[in-house]
């Protein structure tokens, strides 16, 4: 994680140099990784801990190692009371906690309750949609009937309208992805019937196939002379 964060910071600084070529100093960046878990963060936040430095050189070279680390606040331990005036941040923490609940129905209901205040503010429309999308993706094991049954009980009109729209979009997307996966499985079965067990490259090619690939291959399933002829077309 510290290496990834350092990469992000370097890209920001490089962009700053391009946009402000006369700037002498770089903007300050405070790297923070928010996480939520009942257990403590298991990885070192120190970049230097990723470096393979021989033990007998540590004392001599420690001062020359890049000093970069990040903060790791655990949202599970974060008190909500101090966030009273910061509605967006408080709601975000509540939604992120909600998705950890083991029951998807309870997770969505709890998250929607937290979003009620946010829905009443027109200025937070984009943030509301982001939170709703995150929330519904976390409850993706619920069928559409269960989701809409939950939404039917939402009292805040603005929240219900936005939630219904996002839920319908995600459900339609899921159905489309499901159809695509079904086509891939059918395609694999037919190809194996024609050409026998598939080599790894062919299985991977089909698994990663786009809808356009599938549409191009389907008419040639019966007349292709070889696996290579079919999948490399």
pLDDT at 63: 73
Boundary (domain end) residue, out of 54, 77, 100: 77
Does residue 117 form part of some domain? no
Boundary (domain end) residue, out of 23, 56, 77: 77
Does residue 164 form part of some domain? no
Does residue 87 form part of some domain? no
Domain count, the chain: 2
How many CA atoms are closer than 13 Å to the CA of 176, on its beta-carbon side?
Answer: 8
Instruction: Provide the Cα torsion 124, 125, 129, 131; round to 10°.
Output: 10
Report the chain (233 residues): mean pLDDT per 10 consecutive residues: 87 91 89 74 81 76 77 73 70 76 78 77 74 72 70 76 74 58 69 79 80 76 77 71
Boundary (domain end) residue, out of 62, 77, 92: 77
CB distance 134 to 97 below 8 Å: no
Q: 213: closest CA among 233, 195, 229?
A: 233
pLDDT at 14: 92
pLDDT at 129: 78
Q: Which residues have a Cβ under 8 Å from the Cβ of 108 and sit 6 or more positions away?
A: 98, 135, 136, 138, 139, 142, 147, 150
What distance in Å separates the CA atoms of residue 166 and residue 172, rounded to the nearest whole number?
Answer: 10
The model carries a pTM of 0.48
What distance in Å separates the CA atoms of residue 112 and residue 163, rounded to the nearest whole number?
Answer: 9
- 186 lies in which domain range? 177-231
């Amino acid at each position: 994680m510290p290496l990834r964060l350092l990469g992000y910071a370097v890209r920001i600084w490089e962009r700053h140099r391009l946009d402000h070529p006369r700037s002498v100093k770089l903007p300050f960046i405070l790297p923070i990784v928010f996480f939520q878990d009942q257990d403590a963060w298991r990885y070192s936040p120190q970049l230097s801990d990723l470096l393979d430095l021989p033990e007998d050189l540590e004392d001599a070279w420690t001062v020359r190692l890049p000093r970069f680390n990040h903060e790791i606040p655990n949202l599970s331990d974060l008190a909500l009371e101090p966030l009273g005036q910061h509605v967006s941040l408080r709601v975000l923490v509540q939604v992120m906690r909600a998705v950890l609940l083991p029951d998807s129905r309870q997770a969505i209901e709890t998250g929607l309750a937290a979003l009620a205040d946010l829905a009443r503010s027109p200025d937070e429309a984009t943030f509301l949609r982001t939170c709703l999308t995150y929330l519904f993706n976390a409850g993706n094991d619920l069928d559409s009937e269960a989701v809409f049954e939950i939404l039917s009980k939402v009292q805040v009109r603005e929240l219900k309208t936005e939630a219904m729209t996002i839920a319908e979009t995600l459900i339609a997307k899921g159905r489309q992805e499901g159809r695509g996966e079904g086509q891939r499985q059918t395609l694999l079965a037919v190809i194996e019937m024609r050409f026998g067990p598939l080599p790894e490259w062919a299985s991977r090619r089909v698994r990663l196939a786009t809808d356009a690939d599938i549409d191009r291959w389907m008419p040639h399933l019966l007349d292709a002379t070889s696996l290579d002829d079919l999948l490399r077309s």
